[in-house]
């Protein structure tokens, strides 16, 4: 269970633990690198995993040893324009920076994913996690749509 929120304070990390979350989302655009490090350290102390969300290469400076998953938000939080190509543009850079820092976060693509072909392409680029919400929430039966989506994924 991911607490998908704008985490900006330690209190929210404690709340996430109490509410039964397994992981928290840390959005680079809302935090300084030092804040990100501090919140990620606290999360690990509380046995929570961390997902660091970036949108551009400059935010990779927030990556630290307490980040378990590194995600690309394909939705620009300033304009709300969504472009899944953002994940493809950043994939190799994310892998290089992770390797330079001797880290191995799971790569996650977030937003704008609506078909299994895109998931397959993202897998080829190195992504292993996918945050997909709107695609399923726009349907009458999100659970059925999710089941069909999973069934259409190649092994």
Q: Model confidence over 61-116: pLDDT tens digits? A: 999 999 999 999 999 988 999 999 999 999 999 999 999 999 999 999 999 999 99
The whole-number pLDDT of residue 77 equals 85
Mean pLDDT over 111-139 rounds to 94
Q: How far apart are CA 60 and CA 64, in angstroms?
A: 9
Q: Classify burial at 54, counting beta carbons within 10 Å of its beta carbon; exposed 0-12, middle 13-18, buried 19 or more.
A: buried
Q: If pLDDT is split at 50, 70 and 90, which confidence band does 134 have?
A: confident
Angle between helices 116-124 and 85-100 (to 10 degrees): 30
Inter-CA distances, 38 with 6, 14, 35, 63, Å: 15, 13, 5, 12
How confident is the prediction for the chain on average, in pLDDT? 96
Cα 44–chain centre separation: 17
Reported in sequence order, the residue ranges of 55-125 that DSSP labels E, i.e. its strands, are: 69-73, 106-110
Poorest-pLDDT segment among 54-58, 122-126, 133-137: 133-137
User: Is residue 155 scored above 90 in pLDDT?
Assistant: no
The upper half-sphere exposure of residue 16, i.e. CA atoms within 13 Å in the direction of its Cβ, equals 30
How many other CB atoms sit within 10 Å of the CB of residue 27? Answer: 22
Contact (CB, 8 A) for 42 and 17: no
- Per the CB < 8 A criterion, the answer to whether 64 and 40 are in contact is yes
Please give the pLDDT value at position 78.
87
Name the nearest CA neighbour of 48 among 68, 23, 14, 70.
Answer: 23
């Amino acid at each position: 269970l991911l607490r998908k929120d704008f985490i900006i304070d330690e209190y929210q990390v404690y709340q996430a633990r109490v509410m039964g979350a397994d992981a928290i989302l840390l959005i680079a655009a809302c935090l300084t690198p030092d804040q990100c490090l501090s919140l990620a350290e606290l999360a690990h102390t509380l046995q929570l995993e961390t997902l660091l969300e970036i949108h551009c290469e400059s935010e990779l400076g927030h990556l630290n040893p307490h980040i378990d998953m590194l995600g690309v938000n394909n939705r620009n939080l300033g304009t709300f324009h969504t472009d899944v190509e953002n994940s493809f543009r950043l994939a190799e850079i994310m892998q290089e920076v992770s390797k330079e820092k001797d880290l191995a976060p799971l790569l996650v693509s977030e937003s704008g994913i609506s078909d299994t072909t895109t998931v397959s392409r993202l897998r080829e680029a190195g992504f292993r996690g996918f945050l997909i919400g709107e695609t399923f929430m726009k349907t009458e039966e999100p659970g059925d749509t999710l089941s069909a989506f999973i069934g259409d994924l190649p092994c």
